[in-house]
Amino acid sequence: MPMTRRDAMVLATGSVAACGLNAVPAWASAADEAIAAFTGGAEPAEGGVVLDVAEIAENGNAVPIGVSADGAVAILVVSTENPLPGVVTFRFGPLAASSSGSTRIRLARSQDVIAVAKMEDGTFRRTSASVKVTVGGCGG
């Protein structure tokens, strides 16, 4: 049976839909992989980290964030929907006045921002915040 134009359209539409459905989990798993690499596979406990980021960002090109965790030696910030999820890692030495950092990050679209802190005792803590982006910053 020859393929009709209608059959080709159905096949193409299904292929495009399948590609679109697989894109988000790949980025989400990339964020999970970045966190696992930072923690060495340990599961971080909730809380103990303060993430200061706006709930609504009018422009995803420069979203200000601040992060802090008392007693942290390092803090990883990850975005769940960006093509490259790792945003920044702050590291703190013994002479650091505080375990905090701030910067501006680029967000492709509305998504969760996750902060994971490695504490002095080797444990990990985490928190997250949802950011609604009205104009994407990563070409999306």
Task: Give which of 75, 34, 73, 68 is closest to 53, Cα–Cα.
Answer: 68
Residue among 82, 78, 77 nearest 109 (CA): 82
| pLDDT at residue number 41 | 92
| pLDDT for residue 8 | 58
pTM above 0.85, yes or no: no
Q: What pLDDT is stored for residue 133 in this prediction?
A: 92
Question: What is the three-class DSSP state of 80?
Answer: coil
- How high is the pLDDT of residue 9? 61
Residue ranges in the chain modelled with pLDDT below 50: 15-27, 140
Q: Among 46, 29, 21, which Cα is nearest to 85's?
A: 29
Three-state secondary structure of the chain: CCCCHHHHHHHHHHHHHHHHHHHHHHHHHHHHHHHHHHHCCCCCEECCCEEEECCEECCCCCEEEEEECCCEEEEEEEECCCCCCEEEEEECCCCCCCCEEEEEECCCCCEEEEEEEEECCCCEEEEEEEEEECCCCCCC
